[in-house]
Amino acid sequence: MGLVQKIFYFHVPCAWLLMLSTLVCASGSVAYLFGGSERGDRVALSAAELGVVFGMCVLVSGPLWARAAWGVYWQWEARLTSSLLLWLMLLAYVLARRYGGSSARRLAAALALFAAIDIPLVYFSVRFFRSIHPSNTVVSTLGPGMRGAFWLSLLAFTALWSVLLAARLAVESAQTELMDLEIMLDQVEEKKV
> Rg of the Cα trace of the chain?
20
Three-state secondary structure call for residue 161: helix
Residue 33 or 66: which CB sits closer to another protein?
66
Residue 1 or 132: which CB sits closer to another protein?
1
Nearest distance from C-beta of residue 128 to another protein, angstroms: 28
Residue 33 or 161: which CB sits closer to another protein?
161
Nearest distance from C-beta of residue 139 to another protein, angstroms: 19
- Do 55 and 88 form a contact (C-beta atoms < 8 A)? no
Site residues for another protein per CB under 8 A: 3-4, 6-7, 10-11, 14, 49-50, 53, 56-57, 60-61, 64-65, 67-68, 160, 164, 167-168, 171, 174-175, 178, 181-182, 185, 188-189, 192
Residue 140 or 189: which CB sits closer to another protein?
189
Nearest distance from C-beta of residue 12 to another protein, angstroms: 12
Residue 122: partners with Cβ closer than 8 Å, 6 or more residues away: 19, 79, 82, 83, 86
Nearest distance from C-beta of residue 181 to another protein, angstroms: 6
Compute the Cα dihedral for 96, 43, 26, 113 and give only its sign. Answer: negative
Residue 33 or 59: which CB sits closer to another protein?
59
Nearest distance from C-beta of residue 39 to another protein, angstroms: 18
Q: Residue type at 53?
A: V
Compute the Cα dihedral for 49, 162, 121, 146 and give only its sign. Answer: positive
**Where are the extended beta strands (E) located within the chain?**
none
